[in-house]
Structure 1
């Protein structure tokens, strides 16, 4: 839609109908009568005003009321018209915004009769702790969704967020088996974040559910209780879900931002920009000013799932290395058998 003009046609007619002599006086110019229709402006040499314009005899130039405001008041076109009219640009030309449609009810995709593919995806591919995954499945926060598109049936991993009354308010779908598919279900409300419940006064904030579960898995691997702290996923770089969560949980006093480590990120000009960590700083500053104890926990790699996968793969590699006998060990075993 083209941008509207700064002033209406009626407003411009009013501008050119304005008496320049009266306007100049209202702006502090010293105007003295020269003859019946002409007035001289003191201090401006041969500048004479008429009701509909001006003429400067020394310079040999003429103009209308807008030209006068631009030339002798140093105003831009828009500011000149605003000054003459006593109104702001676009005040009467902006088109009314259409009403924001109300969000419809969230309808979750049907559940598959088999959850195994989703479990394998989360546990085998994403290296998440089986007990944590099964706990979230039991709470209805994770399930295997069946969706159809253009006659094709798809199986996706679904992450569900609920309100205080247990009503589903947000659902995100993630493709499995190497698929890069990601989609929010229609009518999802991202201000309801994927929330892993806790019992303490600390909440960890993440960009995605998988990162939140990865963080809990890493704590369990280090012998720590993963159920004490709350964890919430925003579903993107945002603080909408966290804002709602804090309003509903006044016992929270400590917030740890665990957003992605975008070391290869670029801004719109192509300059290096770590989107996740810069946003974490912004959020920490804002909520720190509100009295919360705030911290930033940065993943070593892209995100906490990447950290978790690296650790899992390193452990597996070391176990396999121990299982492969060295040449010296093999030779010793051979000699022991010969004896």
Structure 2
């Protein structure tokens, strides 16, 4: 079996198991402190990263474990396929050297070994729709983000609506303004599970970002929508910001290399198990590299900044707090 390094295995086991189950077509339901599946109510998902099937408690076997075990049990994958699937789901891209494979074929008594490398897909941005009407409706109505924040990104061509499915395209540019990364987010959640994916061929060393050379502070988020929600909550249009789209810090390292004026990093990751674990890891790492660091996660009780924003907007007592 192909070997994975410690960081890759950590990333694979940091993926949200509820999102994994939803992506496989299951309906995830929260019951108290755990989650279950509508289709298999004996399943228990704990901390969004481990599971157990109580209906087979006396039978043993593959009856619980990590995200890897879940894919093996319910998607028919082997260990290698499951880890690759989770890394891809997290938006992580392995080095090309680790993509080299050796294929041995038997022709009579002769063994022929072929070395081949997976082809790199061309990075092509989705075609714009020519209108951002679905984009604005989704972000301002469903996600409660102020139009002024959405205007900030559309006017800078950092987000746009794609033709056809009307997905929101989030662009990650390098220091020269060239788009190196892009992800898509569907706008029709109400009729089913949300559509989310990275554009094929993108560079995972970049993330959706906002740059201000006059600011020495960088705010780090998991998702672009949480970044935008933070901007609205704090009326912060001045600081540097980046959305990783995963829990791997390659985009942070690239951003710091391209913008060496940064001295302070505030981590605004999710209030769930993987987000908390990643925050602790990143705080230690970047403090050791000489940066001033702070855990700037949303308040206790809220998974992420957008969940916090929607609650603030729905509560007339505190709504005036939101600018």
Using the size of structure 2 for normalisation, the TM-score is 0.60
- What is the distance in 1 between the residues matched to 2:2 and 2:293? 45
- What is the distance in 2 between the residues matched to 1:291 and 1:97? 46
Kindly report which structure 2 residues correspond to 1:1-339, keeping only aligned pairs within 5 A, or say none.
Answer: 98=115, 100-101=117-118, 103-146=120-163, 153-178=164-189, 179-198=193-212, 199-220=214-235, 226-262=236-272, 274-300=273-299, 301-315=302-316
- What is the distance in 2 between the residues matched to 1:214 and 1:122? 10
Cα deviation, residue 317, structure 1 = 9.2
RMSD: 2.6
SS of residue paired to 2:166:
strand
Using the size of structure 1 for normalisation, the TM-score is 0.57
In structure 2, relative to structure 1, the CA distance for the partners of 1:317 and 1:236 (3 Å cut) is same
- What is the distance in 2 between the residues matched to 1:248 and 1:2? 33
Structure 2: runs of 5 or more not aligned: 4-101, 105-112
Count of residue pairs brought into register by the alignment = 208
Alignment correspondent of 1:53: none
Q: Which has the higher contact order (CA 8 A, sep 6+)?
A: 2
Cα deviation, residue 105, structure 1 = 3.6
Deviations 1:310-337 (A, max 9, x none): 0011138979xxxxxxxxxxxxxxxxxx
Contact kept in structure 2, 1:190 and 1:235, CA below 8 Å: no
Alignment correspondent of 2:108: none
In structure 2, relative to structure 1, the CA distance for the partners of 1:100 and 1:233 (3 Å cut) is farther
In structure 2, relative to structure 1, the CA distance for the partners of 1:100 and 1:256 (3 Å cut) is farther
Cα deviation, residue 166, structure 1 = 1.9
Contact kept in structure 2, 1:106 and 1:168, CA below 8 Å: no
Deviations 1:137-190 (A, max 9, x none): 1111111012xxxxxx42211111112222221111111132511111110112
Structure 1: runs of 5 or more not aligned: 4-92, 147-152, 221-225, 263-273, 320-339
Contact kept in structure 1, 2:313 and 2:319, CA below 8 Å: no
Structure index of larger Rg: 1
Q: Which runs of 4+ in 1 moved over 4 A?
A: 93-102, 316-319
Instruction: Please say which of residues 208-217 and 174-183 is displaced more in the overlay.
Output: 174-183
In structure 2, relative to structure 1, the CA distance for the partners of 1:97 and 1:289 (3 Å cut) is farther
SS of residue paired to 1:236:
coil
SS of residue paired to 2:316:
helix
- What is the distance in 1 between the residues matched to 2:318 and 2:267? 31
- What is the distance in 2 between the residues matched to 1:285 and 1:318? 36
